[in-house]
Structure 1
Amino acid sequence: MADINPSAEGIRTMLTETLGRLRKANAEYFEQLEKGLSASPLPIANQAKEFCSYMQRNVAATFDLGDKIIQAKDMQDALKIQSDFFQEQMRLLTDQTRSMGESAMKAAAGAFTPKA
């Protein structure tokens, strides 16, 4: 019969295993997405690959957050981990937004450049 009150360590083990399976499924998903983008004849495929790369990094950071939260010693530790994660994600979002904006401007400028 299943243990009705599993230990904290048992829960951590279960969550770690589940997170590992999710990481594997995520890696397979992004591998397929990258293959599809590489085969795409669309002119925006490069921008889509860049966006995909950002998504991959953000998802990986979220999985890392899950790993850290699972290992948190107490609620205060978990809140600090989450706060640090949020601050770092806001910084990365700003950088990614700037980079995507620059890429979009280059693509738009290229679209309106007369062909020789």
Structure 2
Amino acid sequence: MAEINPSAENIREMLTEALARLRKANEEYFELLERGLSSSPLPIADQAKQFCSFMQRNASATFDFGDKLVQARDVQDALKLQSEFFQGQMQALTDQARSMGESAMKAATGAFTPKN
């Protein structure tokens, strides 16, 4: 029977490996989704691609946060990382909402513009 050694370093190593596998699976998922959207004849495919790009960036930021959190040495370090991550995600959400709003306005304006 294998001996279980729950040292902090072993736990960090296991979490790092798990995060790497999850990151790879996430990348494969978004590649598949992107291929599907590229071949889509739907008129909202461009907006869906933009939304997919935002989701991909947010997921990547979350994995980066996980990588940093695994290396945190104490609770204070972890809380600092959490605060920085939260602030970054709120800024990203604001930027993404602005961009999606602008895209929606352009699409709406184009839909109601008379064609000659």
Q: TM-score category by the smaller chain?
A: over 0.9
CA shift at 1:4, angstroms? 4.1
- Report the counterpart of residue 98 of structure 1 in structure 2: 98
Q: How many residues align?
A: 116
* Per-residue deviation, residues 38-94 of structure 1 (Å, max 9, x unmatched): 000001000000000000000000000000000001010000000000011001100
- Report the counterpart of residue 61 of structure 1 in structure 2: 61
In structure 1, give the amino acid aligned to 2:24: K
- Report the counterpart of residue 71 of structure 1 in structure 2: 71
TM-score, normalising length: structure 2: 0.97
Q: Structure 2: state its 5+ residue gaps.
A: none
Distance in 1 of aligned mates of 2:95 and 2:113? 27
Matched residue of 2:41: which SS?
coil
- Report the counterpart of residue 25 of structure 1 in structure 2: 25
Question: What percent of counterpart residues are identical?
Answer: 77
- Report the counterpart of residue 89 of structure 2 in structure 1: 89
In structure 1, give the amino acid aligned to 2:115: K
CA shift at 1:2, angstroms? 3.7
Distance in 1 of aligned mates of 2:3 and 2:64? 28
Distance in 1 of aligned mates of 2:108 and 2:66? 38
Distance in 1 of aligned mates of 2:3 and 2:65? 28
Q: Structure 1: state its 5+ residue gaps.
A: none
Distance in 1 of aligned mates of 2:16 and 2:4? 19
CA shift at 1:3, angstroms? 3.5
TM-score, normalising length: structure 1: 0.97
